[in-house]
Amino acid sequence: MRNHVKDEPDQNPWYYDILNYLQHGKFPQQCEEADKKYLNKLALKFFVFGSVLYKRSYDSILLKCVDTKEASQLMQEIHEEECGPHMNGHLLARKIMRLGYYWLTMETDYIKHL
């Protein structure tokens, strides 16, 4: 199966700016005022422990944010399980979240993966 998780264009994980903002209070370079407000609001949904970023789910469970390499590996492992091939992309994405992992495009990536 092909990898449908898009690689990060700048070699940083998708959550790099959120993590940097939470750890150091710094905005990305050339960030406009509207982007700063958005990042500030978005960061409220995340939590840093050590150097690991977690997203707070709607039921207050912390989901570990993963990069593209980890996301691809998770999708492959979950899909190869006994019931994995019989689930649709939405259910497989929910299963990953129940296991405690998160990335922004998980549902879309899983639908493309199947």
Q: What is the pLDDT of residues 46-104, one digit of tens each?
A: 999 999 999 998 887 899 999 988 988 888 787 776 555 556 777 777 888 888 888 88
pLDDT value at residue 40 = 95
Which structural domain range is residue 29 located in? 10-65
User: Which amino acid appears at position 51 of this protein?
Assistant: S
Q: Give the model confidence (pLDDT) of 71-86 as tens digits.
A: 888 887 877 765 555 5
Task: Examine the domain organization and report whether 24 and 58 are in the same domain.
Answer: yes
Looking only at the bridges linking them, the beta strands covering 62-65 and 52-56 are antiparallel
pLDDT value at residue 38 = 95
Cα–Cα distance measured from residue 32 to residue 68, given in angstroms and rounded to the nearest whole number: 27
Closest by alpha carbon to 93, among 80, 106, 78?
106
Could you tell me if residue 76 is inside a domain?
yes
Could you tell me if residue 5 is inside a domain?
no
| Position 1 confidence tier, pLDDT thresholds 50, 70, 90 | very low
C-alpha to C-alpha distances, 108 to 6, 45, 73, 95, nearest whole angstrom: 11, 21, 16, 14
pLDDT value at residue 98 = 84
Task: Examine the domain organization and report whether 61 and 83 are in the same domain.
Answer: no
56's enclosing H/E stretch is: strand 52-56
Task: Examine the domain organization and report whether 83 and 96 are in the same domain.
Answer: yes
- The pTM of the full predicted model, rounded to 2 decimals, is 0.76
Q: Can you tell me which residue has the tokens 């960061």?
A: 43
Looking only at the bridges linking them, the beta strands covering 62-65 and 46-49 are unpaired
